[in-house]
Amino acid sequence: MSRKIVQNYYKIVYFCLLLAVFLPLIFYRNTFSPFHFTKNLLFRVLVETLFVFWLVLAWADKRYRPRLNLLFWLVNAWFLSYLITSVLGVDWSRSFWGTLERMGGFILQLHLWLYLIILISVFKTKEQWFSLLRLSIVASFLCSLYALAQKANLGFVLGGGRERVFGTVGNPALFAGYTLFNFFWALYFILKRDARDKWRKFFVGVAVLQFVTILLTAVRGAIIALLFGLVLLGILYIFLQRGKKTKIVILGAIAPIVILSSALYLARGSDAVRGNEFLRRVTDISLQTETIQTRLTTWHIALKAAASRPVFGWGPENFSVAFAQYFDPVFFKSFGSETFWDRAHNVFLDILTAQGIFGLAVYFCLLGGVFFSLYKIFREGDDEARWLGAVLLVILLVYHIHTFFIFDVFSTDLMLIIFLGMVYFIYAKFTGREPETKEPEMSPPKPRKFVLVGGLFIVFILFFVLAVAPFKTNYLGTRAVVADWQHQHEQVIGYYQRSLESGAFPAYEIRHKLAGYAFSVASAQKLSQGEIIKTLDLAISETQKNIDQHPKDYLPYLYLGRVLNYKARYNNQAVLQARDNLQKALALNPAYPRIYYELGQNYILQGDYQNALKIFQEALNLNQKVAISYWYVAATYARLGDYQQAAKYVLLAQERGYEFNQKEEATQAVVIFNEIKETAKVAEFSQKVATLDPTAQNYASLAVALKQNGQYQEAILAAQKAAEIDPGFAREAQIFISQTKPLVGSQ
């Protein structure tokens, strides 16, 4: 192979490596998980393409092969531990593919590992690495500009008008983590001795913008990490610099940060701080804070889960399975509560739960290797190496402070990979461990064309398997949702069928969205019975596939149980099928009240009110602060004819904030209190019914209830409202009013 061809291959690989840093900017709004999905698909294609060219390049020229050192082997050990624990976990399929929400899994780790191997094999000079870092800073700059556009609520941005910004990363905490890396890279170039003036001015502007956008995320962990990193970097800079003036300037910059941060924290209880939403949030780091309480509860669950599978863990991406098994009912407050957690929100507990002691030990070894490399840099490197080593040390500590309360996604994973590559390079380069081959060491040429063509053919196939098929599944799923908004049932079903025909990732999530659509169709009763049954049957068939693929996940059983509960209205045999699936869901998540509710409804469908009452009582006992549990108990007592007990639990539900915002519930409450002659409550809930469904009949009923409760003037107004809504009620209303008016004076 000629040198010219080698150089062309090198340019392709080099360009692809640089191009990767712009992927955090990419998103496509017409997909589910728009800020994670497209980035990952493009990264897969990019890495697979450059891998083929790099393979031929490394075969032809030994200069483009990785040099083996401690860090190289530790990175490989970490990747191997991820593979082993994925295979040995409770759901290898999810460990391999990841989830739509996070887009992680072995498939991402494999591509990140390949990217790192190619990166350290091809980038041999500091200028190459600095070019990569500069471009990453530029990408981060654009991401921060987008965050400002979100804050300004500009019409063209996705996610505008919110209190907290998230750029193109999709989540304030994840955006802050991504920006932290680039902020400290920018500081490195600002304080670097030989920095060009034009670059320095640009990086100063970028750093200021990044600092502001990190604050605008209002992520406490990120802000603490940011301030800690600034102070530590300033201290290290003072020790590494020789000039007194520079040290004074740095001290002058550190002091206000420390003083202002301390003053704000000490004044956290003042009206000035409490009255400002941003200051109130960032200074509220008490253990009693709701966010911190949920973190602590999640960590407790993670520790219990890790103790049950201590060696190899539950497998990467399977935290949701572990979380369900040890679910704490405190998370459930009502429908819509955040009861599904797929991360422990702590980097160490995430690893411990997913990969066990084995994986955590390998991770600590990798950390030890990084610290050892940085130590060698400080000990053996020149001034430039030591300064870069200082920045790397700060980034490492800042990263772990931030991820002590959060997790990684592709954008932060990519930054971490670049960080590891930098540590590898600077350790090898500045300690004299990276020999350079002056002339290309050429290998026999014959097999290379076959390797290139064959490799590109494989990449072409993988492009369809790992990118096109998932994109089609995701995109068509979103079209089904849009068609649902437009009430186009046939199109909804068509899109879902086309989306799921290949069964490609992320079919799991799309199937559950189909099940959700089936719930709404069956509940609304606006289609023909045949169409409703057809929709339910499709949802049943697809949801069963999720159970077959993920038998230890409670969620598909719950979805299938709910669909079958609806199907039971048309086919009695579905009652027992639903119960079987709901009981399986309960075995996998024994403390989740929502499953009990569905199981209770299942018994009601069969007319078994005693068992339904027992199930609802069990749900109530799980968390006695949940208002809706009291209502379910009340409604079941009413079915049993025990209206005194029913009324008692209605009042308990009200005490806990239940608002009876469904007309059917308020109507049932009217019946309950009517049976025990509680006229005040009958009037109260009749008013609720009329407000929710303002028909003439409901206002007429309200007028009667108010009159029975002695509220004569209000009763007259309700009767007048009934006649106003429907003139057909005018005669009866006039009679009612004439009979009620004489009583007004006695009210």
Task: Note if the pTM is more than 0.85.
Answer: yes
CA atoms within 13 A on the CB side of 207: 18
What pLDDT does 431 receive?
59
Query: Is the Cβ–Cβ distance between 654 and 642 less than 8 Å?
Result: no
With 70 as the cut, is the pLDDT of residue 437 above it?
no
> Which token pair is 249?
């300037």
Weakest mean pLDDT among 75-79, 391-395, 455-459: 455-459
What average pLDDT score do residues 472-492 get?
96
With 90 as the cut, is the pLDDT of residue 28 above it?
yes
Q: What is the CATH architecture assignment of 678-747?
A: Alpha Horseshoe (1.25)
Bond preceding residue 506 cis, omega within 30 of 0: yes
**How many C-beta atoms lie closer than 10 Å to residue 495's C-beta?**
23
With 60 as the cut, is the pLDDT of residue 86 above it?
yes
Report which of 337, 312, 342 is spatially closest to residue 89, judged by C-alpha positions.
312
What average pLDDT score do residues 214-233 get?
94
Report which of 550, 536, 532 is spatially closest to residue 320, judged by C-alpha positions.
550
What pLDDT does 465 receive?
86
With 60 as the cut, is the pLDDT of residue 447 above it?
no
What average pLDDT score do residues 164-169 get?
95
What average pLDDT score do residues 515-521 get?
96
DSSP state of 488: -
Confidence of residue 439 (pLDDT cuts 50, 70, 90): low
Report which of 704, 747, 740 is spatially closest to residue 722, judged by C-alpha positions.
704
What average pLDDT score do residues 336-361 get?
95
Q: 374: helix, coil or strand?
A: helix
What average pLDDT score do residues 456-470 get?
87
Confidence of residue 590 (pLDDT cuts 50, 70, 90): very high
Range with the largest mean pLDDT of 301-315, 452-466, 493-507: 301-315
The dihedral over CA atoms of 417, 420, 421, 422, expressed in degrees to the nearest 10, equals 120
With 80 as the cut, is the pLDDT of residue 194 above it?
no
Domain ranges of the chain: 67-430, 678-747
DSSP state of 439: S
Residue 100 burial (10 A CB sphere; 0-12, 13-18, 19+): buried
**How many C-beta atoms lie closer than 10 Å to residue 436's C-beta?**
9
What pLDDT does 7 receive?
85
- Distance CA(2)–CA(343), nearest Å, equals 50
- Distance CA(613)–CA(592), nearest Å, equals 17
What pLDDT does 449 receive?
67
> Which token pair is 247?
């040290």
- Residues of 298-327 as b/e, b for ≥16 C-beta within 10 angstroms? bbebbeebbeebeebbbbbbbbbbbbbbbb
Weakest mean pLDDT among 116-120, 289-293, 385-389, 704-708: 289-293
pLDDT digits (tens, 9 = 90+) for 537-559: 999 999 999 999 999 999 999 99
What pLDDT does 181 receive?
98
Helices (H), 623-678: 627-639, 643-655, 663-675
- Distance CA(160)–CA(35), nearest Å, equals 14
- Distance CA(167)–CA(212), nearest Å, equals 12
Residue count (the chain): 747
Query: Is the Cβ–Cβ distance between 477 and 495 less than 8 Å?
Result: yes
What average pLDDT score do residues 484-503 get?
95
Secondary structure tally for the chain: helices H, strands E: 33, 0
DSSP state of 191: H
> Which token pair is 531?
């169409």
What pLDDT does 466 receive?
87
Report which of 676, 696, 698 is spatially closest to residue 685, judged by C-alpha positions.
698
What pLDDT does 435 receive?
46
- Distance CA(588)–CA(578), nearest Å, equals 16
What pLDDT does 531 receive?
96
With 90 as the cut, is the pLDDT of residue 668 above it?
yes
Single-letter amino acid code for the residue at 275: G
Question: 219 Cβ partners below 8 Å, 6+ apart?
Answer: 164, 172, 173, 176, 406
What pLDDT does 325 receive?
97
What pLDDT does 444 receive?
47
Weakest mean pLDDT among 243-247, 275-279, 320-324, 583-587: 243-247
What pLDDT does 536 receive?
97
Kindly report the average pLDDT of the chain as a whole number.
91
With 60 as the cut, is the pLDDT of residue 36 above it?
yes
What pLDDT does 379 receive?
84
- Distance CA(379)–CA(385), nearest Å, equals 10
pLDDT digits (tens, 9 = 90+) for 306-344: 999 999 999 999 999 999 999 999 999 988 888 899 999
With 90 as the cut, is the pLDDT of residue 488 above it?
yes
pLDDT digits (tens, 9 = 90+) for 706-730: 999 999 999 999 999 999 999 998 9
With 70 as the cut, is the pLDDT of residue 520 above it?
yes
Confidence of residue 448 (pLDDT cuts 50, 70, 90): low
Distances 669 to 92, 619, 633, 638, 677 between C-alpha atoms, Å: 49, 21, 12, 9, 12
**How many C-beta atoms lie closer than 10 Å to residue 454's C-beta?**
12
